Chains A and B, each alone.
Chain A
C-alpha cells in the first residue's frame, strides 16, 4: 500500500540550494521540512568535487567540495529537516507527487514545494558530435563520480572539451586519477573561467590550450583513440590522440519535474521562469539554485536557496504578497539568459540583489543597456568582464525606473 510523506515544505533535491533552504526553514520557522534526495548521500555536485574552492560566499570558508557537502547535510539535519536519501520523485503532475525508495512507493503531501533539482552537463550526443561510441567518453559528473565516489580509474591521457570553471575541476580530478590532460579544447578565443584561476590552472597542469576549435569527431573502437578538432576560423582539422575525453560544462537544468507539472519555463535558462522571490508560475511552487541559473558556483546556489526559503516562510505564514503582474526581463544577444526573468517595482530584490546572466561572447568592458518599449532606462558600465562559461552578475537596480504598466524589459551589452 502506498504510504504518505506529509510536510509543510517538500524540497526536491538535496544539493547546496535544497539543503540550505531546508536548514533555513527548519531552524527559523516551525515548518516541517522534508528533503527528497535521489542519491545515496545528499550534498549534490560538491560531494564529488574533491578540491578547494567551496563555501566562500555562504560559509566564509575556503574548503573542499566533500567537506562543504557534509557541512550542509549536518546543518540541515541539526536544524531538524527530515532528509530522505535514495528517495526519487518519479512522477508529479502538479498535484499528485509519487516517490520510490527502498521503503516502497509513497505519495508526497506538502503545502509548499521547492524545486532544487540542479543542472547537468550536456553529454556528447546532445552536442551532436559524431563518431564512434567507444569507452572513455565522459562528462565531468561521471568522471568525478568515478574517481571520488567509486574510487575507480579512468584512462591515462585525456582531452577536456570546454573551458569553463568546471573544465578546470575536471583537469584536477583527472590529475588525481593519474590521467594527464593533454589538451583543453574550447570554441571560444580564450578559456572562459576566472582569469586568475585560469592562469593557476595553466601553471599547475600545463595542458595544451586549443582555443577557437570545435570537436568534430570521436575516434576509437573499443576505447577512445582520439578526437578530431577543427579550427573554426580556417577549417583546418587535426587529431588529438587520447584515451579519455571529458565533455565539460554546457549546462542544462534538470527541469523534467517542473515540465511534468506544466510549470512555465524560461526560454533562456530552460529552467522554471521565476520572479525575484523564487516563485514559479504555479502557486506554492518555488525554484532555487542551478535549476534556475545553470550554472553558478555552489555558494551562490546555496544563498539562492536561503533567499527562497525566506519567501517560502512568508508564503506559509499567509503573509500577503503584492498582487502584481510582473514584467518579463529578457536578455538580448550576447546574453544567453537572464534570471530572474520577472520584475515588478513592488516586489523585493532577488538573492544577493543581482540579476544572474550568461553571455555567449567575451566582453572585456561590458556596458549594460536596459530598454523598455524602445526607451533606454539605464546604461551601466560594469567593472568586471562578461565571459562565456561563467555567470555574469548585474546589479538588480539597473531595472529601477521600469514602468510597471509597460512592456518587457530588454537587456543588452
Chain B
C-alpha cells in the first residue's frame, strides 16, 4: 500500500499548479479528481485573461498572488508554449460616475504595485478601440492585461507533475476523509488513497470538503458566468480587452479577443445554488445581447460560434482563503475566484511556504523533468498545419481534420497519446481546438469521434 506524502484534491488549474510545484520536490504526490480530465470544472470556462491585478483590493493575499502569478505564468507560458498575448486592456467609462472613479482606480493600481495605467480621453478610447459603440466618456489603459489559453495551463502543469512521478488519479469522486494520527485516508469511488498531507483545492466543492475536516468557515456560492464567442471573421474588430469600470456587482461584462482568434463577450454574473448548473440561459443571452449591442454593435453582424457558462467559486469572504492546519496535516486553498488562473503558480508557491512553515521538508528532487512543450493552439503563433518541416517529417501534420480550426490528424493523435491524454471529445478540443470552430463539428465531429474510438481500442 502506498502512502503519498501529499494528496491534492481537485485537478483544476490551482490543484495542478500545486501538484506541479510539489512534484519537483523529493515527495510523493497524488492528484485526485472526480472528472476524467484535468481542468474539467471551473477552470475550463473562465474569461481567459491573465490579470495584472491592477484592480485587486490592495493588501490582500489575492492582490499579492495575482501580481506574482502574472510574472510566473508569463515566464512559464513562454517556456511551454501556452498561448499568451499581451493585448492590453481599456477600461471604458460610460457614465459620469464611472468616469469619476477612474483616477481612483489608477491610484489603486499603483497601491497594487502596478504603475502603468493611463487615463484616456473619450477620443483616445476610440483611437484605441475604433469599433466601440457610441457614448464612451473616457477610459483607463492597462497595457499589460493579457489574454491566455485557459485550457493549456492545467494540462501543462499536470503533464510536468506526472513526468516528475506524481500519480494522477482521475475519475474518483471523494466520498469521505478520515484523519488519523500518522496518515489521512481519502475514501473515493475507486478506492482509498492514503496520504500524510491533504491539500483541498476542490474549487466549487472546497467548502464541503473543508467541513469533512471539522471546519465551518466558508460557503461556496456558484456564480454563473455565461459567455458568447463570436466568429473569427469578427477578429479584425478588436485587438484589446475592453473592460467595464468595476462596480459592487463584480467586474461586469467585457469584450475581448481570444487566443484562438475569436471575440468573446461576457460574463454574466448570477448566483445559484446548484454547483452543476453550467447551462446557458435565455435571460443570460438576452442580457449579453443588450450589453453587446451597446459595447460593440458590429459584433452581431457575425455569427455566434459558441456559448458556454462557467461557475465561479464565489465565497462570503473578501480574499483567498489559504490556510494550513499542521495538526491535521491539511491545507485549504479556497475562495479562489476568477483570478485563480493568473495566480495559480503563485498559489502553489504560497502553499509550499505554508508546508515548509509546518515542518514539511521540501528538498528538491534529484532529477526534475524539463517543463513540457505543449501543442501550439494559439491563432497568432505558428501552428502545425503551417509548418513545412513538421509535415515533411510526419505527413499527419498536413492532414487537416478540423477545417474551421485547422487541426491536423497528427495533433489529434498526439492529444490522445500524450502524458495526460484526452479521453473524450471535450478533452481533444481543449488540447487541439478540434470541433470548436464555426461549424461546431458539422464536418469533423464524426472523424474526431473515430480517432477517439480508435485510440480507445489501441489502449485496450
Contact = CB atoms under 8 A, between A and B. Distances in A.
- Decide whether A and B assemble into one complex: yes
Interface of A: 1-2, 38-39, 86, 88, 90, 100-105, 120-126, 128, 130-133, 135, 138-139, 141-142, 145-146, 149-150, 152, 216-217, 221, 252, 256, 259
B298 to A, nearest CB: 14
B396 interface: yes
B303 A252 contact: yes
A269 B307 CA distance: 25
Nearest to B445: A142
A81 to B, nearest CB: 22
Nearest to A3: B388
A125 B400 contact: no
A379 B175 CA distance: 75
A152 B308 contact: no
Main SS class of interface, A: mixed
B442 A102 contact: no
Contacts of A133: 278-279, 308
A252 B450 CA distance: 26
B450 A132 contact: no
A152 B450 contact: yes
Nearest to A124: B440
Contacts of A145: 443, 445-447
B441 A104 contact: no
Interface string B355-387: 000000000000000000000000000000110
Contacts of A122: 303
A248 B439 CA distance: 13
Contacts of B449: 146, 150, 152
Interface size bucket, B side? Answer: 35 or more
| Top-5 shortest CB links A-B | A123-B440, A102-B395, A145-B446, A141-B442, A132-B279
Given A103-B395, A125-B304, 19 more contacts: A90-B385, A100-B385, A102-B396, A103-B391, A103-B398, A104-B391, A122-B303, A124-B440, A125-B229, A125-B305, A125-B306, A125-B307, A128-B285, A131-B279, A142-B441, A152-B450, A152-B453, A252-B303, A256-B233
Contacts of B439: 120, 123, 139, 141
A259 B449 CA distance: 30
Contacts of B442: 120-121, 123, 139, 141-142
B280 A131 contact: yes
Given A139-B442, A141-B442, A38 B400 contact: yes
B413 interface: no
A221 to B, nearest CB: 7
B282 interface: yes
B406 interface: yes
Interface in B410-460: 425, 438-443, 445-447, 449-450, 453
B284 interface: yes
Contacts of A1: 388
Given A120-B442, A142-B445, A128 B307 contact: yes
B276 interface: yes
Of the candidates B276, B385, B438, B442, the one having the most CB atoms from chain A within 10 angstroms of its own CB is B442
Given A130-B285, A132-B278, A139-B442, A90 B386 contact: yes
B1 interface: no
A146 B446 contact: yes
B307 A221 contact: no
Nearest to A1: B388
Given A123-B440, A217-B282, A138 B445 contact: yes
A221 B276 contact: yes
Interface in B270-293: 276, 278-282, 284-285
A102 B399 contact: yes
A125 B395 CA distance: 33
A35 B258 CA distance: 34
Contacts of B388: 1-2, 104-105
Contact of B304 (A120, A126, A138): A126
Contact of B307 (A38, A130, A217): A130
